[in-house]
């Protein structure tokens, strides 16, 4: 280890703090699902092999530098209020105090009606507020037919970043003030004050301009630098992480929108540890400031060198290779990656901005992405402590299923489910309130938010902090869990393995399968069954119960022979019989030694071998250069990356 570097005085990873998934039948130690402690885990949307990563890139703000909450938000909120008053806004708005329990990332602000909206991935409104008043269903439908709104840049602004949290709260404060002030009269799209009309859109634009001023030209950064200990969290594990990255042989780079003087002050503070004599710049092979993301991932700007002594840009455009130890300003992703010799799949980039850091780097450049979600620590704590509420919701789901379980299309009477529905709404509301006024960042009840859907689509990995990378070897393979569809997570396997001949009569096979599911055996029950625990095959947990709430095969276990049974049994019998015929044909073919599959009673005339299958979730790569991969067109040089979302829509509503 180099002289002056910080040594690990204790292991950063204590296995005793980790857990194994003990669900399911008794198994030996090797078959138990192993998880690191939740606070140290990295969560996986798409499989990724760290061994293949050659470049680790990092944003600074809210990624390497985690600002203390709510102290930093309170500071920004105070400065923007003062800026608005200097612009002519009433001094009474200075009386508002920041409340960290109200705002959540990912809300939409409707500049036409002045409402904050929490929406799902399709634009369906989950909840809405006007000022601090949460709108009832009828009020929402009056403004938004079908409780739906399309993401329109001319009308909607998405409050995506952690820097937007005080802005979210201030917008609510301003709408609340103008709504209740006797000097202002509410109008259709704003407020009247005598002969003056103040639109919601103008209020938003003033607020947005004030925040930009405070962050770019104002005193926010100067105050932060003068009191770094009050506003920036410091962790001794950060130098350790970069020491390990250096020892792994990978290269690192810093890519931030902040200017040099601010970047240097923050990074010096973060890496200034007792016994640490190495300057922070030595932990990075390349440093780029003033990058202007997301523009940097597209056309970019001029690449120039920074004079670290004066902080000014050097005259002229940089044309040579990027040199380690120098600091650069601006540029573009295309220029940068060419100069360092990086391909998209070689880079894993860590950032906190779903749009500026993750979406653009994934869609335009095919980088692997890691989204830093500081709120995840609190989300996990509420999730783990809310066991009783989740069990109540599962029980209600079972009650709902039991109401319908003996009914089919011949039923004439409509069952009364109103009491169950009302109780479900109460439980979901209590669950949401545990997170804050606007609920969870990721969901509302069982529905994912817009933020959550974008995170799943464009992020390969995510976690509460970059420091969780310390607890994984750099040869680690992150394996994405199965994303089961409803017909996969709520229907159990009833037929025997088709690779062997089953001599059981179809009716006996079905009966056996139903009995096993009905018994509640965790080894055969569905992923979403029972008490909502995960199944042993990695399936997702969710609503449904063995008694028949979730439908499908488990639901049918409650049917008794009679008028409802023949249709269901006949359908299953035919499926089982077809599988058995196929298995018998396979065995007969094996005995004959015949490789032809043309006589098999199935849709397939030629089955692919395992080597012919591109298994995306295993992140397979033969290590050959692009254009030489097995099975691809030789010399094309354009082999798509498994994790590159090449089919992603370019519509605006998928990018904001």
Tell me which residues are annotated as active site.
59, 61
* Cβ atoms of 118 and 128 closer than 8 Å: yes
* Cβ atoms of 140 and 128 closer than 8 Å: yes
For residue 644, what are its two tokens? 């590159």
The two beta strands, 33-35 and 107-110, are unpaired
In DSSP notation, 318-386 reads --S---TT-EEEE--HHHHHHHHT--GGGEEEEES-IIIIIIHHHHHH--EEEEE-TTHHHHHHHHHH-
Q: How far apart are CA 56 and CA 477, in angstroms?
A: 16
* Cβ atoms of 289 and 258 closer than 8 Å: yes
For 22, 301, 524, 538, 544, the CA distances from 28, given in Å and listed in that order, are: 10, 58, 18, 17, 29
Q: How far apart are CA 460 and CA 457, in angstroms?
A: 8
For 121, 465, 596, 604, the CA distances from 457, given in Å and listed in that order, are: 11, 20, 41, 32
* Cβ atoms of 422 and 573 closer than 8 Å: no
Which residues make beta-bridge pairs with 190? 187, 199
Instruction: Report the sign of the C-alpha dihedral through residues 486, 492, 495, 498, in that order.
Output: positive
Q: Which among 352, 336, 354 is positioned nearest to 344, based on CA atoms? A: 336
Q: How far apart are CA 614 and CA 621, in angstroms?
A: 9
* CA-based end-to-end distance of the chain: 45
CA atoms within 13 A on the CB side of 234: 15
Q: Which among 335, 358, 345, 338 is positioned nearest to 639, based on CA atoms? A: 345
At 594 the three-state DSSP class reads coil
For residue 215, what are its two tokens? 């962050």
Q: How far apart are CA 517 and CA 58, in angstroms?
A: 48
Q: How far apart are CA 532 and CA 381, in angstroms?
A: 18
* Cβ atoms of 305 and 318 closer than 8 Å: yes
In sequence order, what are the residues at sequence separation of 6 or more whose Cβ sits closer than 8 angstroms to the Cβ of residue 478?
Answer: 42, 44, 47, 48, 49, 50, 460, 461
Q: Which among 221, 118, 200, 123 is positioned nearest to 155, based on CA atoms? A: 200
């Amino acid at each position: 280890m180099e002289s002056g570097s910080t040594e690990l005085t204790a292991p950063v990873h204590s296995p005793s703090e980790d857990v194994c998934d003990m669900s399911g039948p008794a198994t030996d130690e090797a078959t138990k699902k192993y998880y690191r402690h939740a606070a140290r885990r990295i969560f996986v949307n798409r499989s990724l092999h760290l061994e293949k990563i050659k470049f680790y890139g990092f944003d600074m703000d809210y990624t390497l530098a985690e600002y203390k909450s709510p102290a930093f938000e309170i500071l920004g909120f105070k400065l923007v209020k003062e800026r608005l008053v200097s612009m002519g806004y009433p001094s009474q708005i200075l009386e508002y105090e920041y409340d960290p329990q109200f705002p959540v990332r990912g809300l939409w602000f409707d500049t036409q009606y002045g409402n904050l909206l929490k929406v799902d991935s399709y634009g369906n409104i989950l909840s809405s507020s006007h000022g601090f008043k949460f709108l009832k269903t009828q009020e929402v439908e009056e403004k938004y037919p079908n409780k739906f709104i399309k993401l329109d840049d001319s009308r909607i602004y998405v409050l995506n970043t952690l820097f937007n949290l005080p802005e979210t709260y201030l917008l609510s404060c301003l709408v609340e003030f103008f709504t209740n002030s006797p000097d202002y009269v509410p109008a259709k799209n704003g407020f009247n004050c005598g002969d003056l009309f103040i639109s919601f859109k103008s209020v938003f634009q003033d607020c947005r301009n004030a925040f930009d001023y405070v962050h770019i030209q104002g005193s926010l950064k100067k105050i932060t630098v003068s009191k770094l200990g009050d506003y920036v969290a410091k962790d001794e594990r950060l130098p350790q992480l970069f020491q390990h990255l250096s020892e792994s042989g990978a290269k690192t780079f810093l890519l931030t929108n902040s200017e040099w003087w601010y970047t240097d002050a923050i990074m010096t503070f973060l890496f200034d540890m007792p016994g640490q004599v190495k300057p922070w710049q030595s932990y990075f092979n390349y440093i780029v400031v003033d990058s202007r993301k997301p523009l940097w991932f597209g056309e970019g700007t001029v690449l120039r060198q920074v004079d670290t002594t004066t902080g000014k840009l050097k005259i002229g455009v940089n044309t040579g290779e990027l040199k380690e130890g120098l600091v650069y300003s601006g540029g573009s992703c295309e220029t940068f990656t060419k100069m360092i010799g990086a391909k998209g799949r070689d880079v894993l980039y860590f950032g906190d901005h779903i749009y500026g850091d993750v979406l653009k780097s994934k869609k335009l450049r095919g980088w692997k992405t890691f989204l830093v979600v500081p709120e995840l620590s609190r989300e996990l704590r509420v999730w783990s402590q809310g066991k009783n509420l989740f069990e109540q919701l599962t029980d209600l789901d079972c009650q709902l299923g039991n109401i319908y379980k003996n009914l089919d299309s011949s039923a004439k009477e409509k069952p009364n489910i109103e009491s169950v529905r009302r109780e479900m709404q109460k439980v979901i509301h209590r669950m949401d309130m545990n997170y804050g006024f606007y609920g969870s960042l990721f969901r509302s009840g069982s529905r994912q938010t817009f933020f959550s859907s974008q995170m799943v689509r464009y992020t390969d990995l995510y976690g509460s902090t970059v420091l969780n990378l310390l607890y994984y070897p750099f040869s680690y393979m992150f394996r994405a869990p199965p994303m089961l569809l409803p017909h996969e997570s709520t229907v159990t396997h009833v037929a025997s393995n088709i690779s062997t001949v089953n001599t059981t009569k179809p009716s006996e096979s079905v009966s056996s399968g139903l009995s096993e599911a009905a018994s509640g055996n965790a080894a055969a029950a569905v992923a979403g069954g029972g008490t909502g625990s995960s199944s042993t095959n990695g399936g997702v947990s969710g609503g449904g119960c063995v008694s028949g709430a979730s439908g499908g095969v488990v639901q049918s276990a409650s049917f008794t022979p009679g008028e409802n049974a023949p249709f269901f049994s006949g359908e299953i019998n035919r499926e089982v019989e077809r599988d058995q015929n196929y298995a018998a044909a396979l065995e007969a073919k094996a005995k004959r030694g015949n490789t032809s599959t043309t006589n098999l009673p199935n849709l397939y005339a030629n089955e692919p071998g395992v080597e012919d299958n591109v298994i995306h979730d295993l992140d397979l790569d033969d290590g050959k250069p692009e254009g030489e991969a097995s099975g691809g067109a030789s010399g094309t040089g354009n082999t798509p990356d498994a994790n590159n979302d090449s089919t992603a829509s370019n519509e605006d509503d998928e990018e904001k």
